[in-house]
Each structure stands twice: as C-alpha cells, then as structure tokens.
Amino acid sequence: MRFSLQVNYAVCGLFDLAYNGGGEPVQVRVIGDRQQVPTRYLEQIFQRLRRAGLVAGKRGPGGGYVLAQSAAEITLQQVVEAVEGPVGTSGIVDSAESSGVAGRPEFIWSDLASRFSSVLESVSLADLCQQAARQGVPRLSLPVSDYQI
C-alpha cells in the first residue's frame, strides 16, 4: 500500500511535535525546517490535523501547534484518515479493473485492507518516539530567539 506525500509529511510533522516539542507550542515553520518540508504545504496539512482533533493551535507570540491528545493516543490510522479519509482497498487494488470478473476473490483485498488498518491502528506516535529513542535519533531543540531587552 502506498501513502501520499501528505500522509508522509503529516506523520513527520506529528512525530516532530511528539519527539521534539516537549509539550510547548511549535510553529509550523520550525517543524518544516527540522523535517525539511515546505512550510506552506505543512500548514495545509496541519489544518486538516487540527480539524481532526489531533493538534491544537495557539495564536500570538509563542504560538504554534501542540498535540491535542497524548502521543500514546494518536495512531497512524487517525493520521491517515485525517489527511486522506478512511483507509480502504483503493491503494491495494483498482476496483474498476477487478469488478465483475467471475471467480475473482474480492474478499482477499478487503481482508488485506482490514489487516493493514489494524496495523495502522496499533502504532501510536509514542511508539514511533520510543523507537526513535532506541535508535539514537537526536532530539532537536527549538531555535533560540535572538530577541533581547
């Protein structure tokens, strides 16, 4: 199964918030710089994530995005559905090609989609963070402001 670039960027952005954010609001520009994702594109994705209740935005100085739930509660399934809608068989088989062909076991594809959906549901952002820590992925700090009084 293939995921769109939007899903890839959404997972990277949420991982960055969970792994590097420390519970503080992080601007999309900072996430984009750290994950090498175009800021404009990432902002559109974060709007979808906000509408899905996965992130919350804070406006004004010191504003940005935070996770709206704990990293353990946000699954890859939720991320995919926030960006692309429900996971189905569309990425597994082209139903237009296979519909109406006698003897084709269509149940195989729906079963595979169901199993794949279960895998996505079983992996949380916290799982990704734990795996990153085990592999020694460095935590990236927020840029230091050059504002002086």
Cα–Cα distance list, 146 to 38, 62, 91, 143, 149 (Å): 23, 14, 47, 9, 10
Is CATH 1.10.10.10 the classification given to domain 5-85+124-134?
Answer: yes
Q: Please write the tens of the pLDDT for every residue from 37-56.
A: 999 999 999 999 999 999 99
Give the predicted TM-score (pTM) of the model.
Answer: 0.81
Q: Once rounded to an integer, what is the mean pLDDT over residues 138-145? A: 68
**Residues 6 or more apart from 51 whose CB is under 8 A from it?**
82
Report pLDDT digits (tens) over 7-27: 999 999 999 999 998 889 999
- Say how far apart CA 69 and CA 125 lie, in whole Å: 10
What's the full length of the chain, in residues? Answer: 149
Tell me which amino acid residue 17 is.
Answer: L
What's the per-residue H, E or C state across 132-144? HHHCCCCCCCCCC
Chain position carrying tokens 């750290």: 34
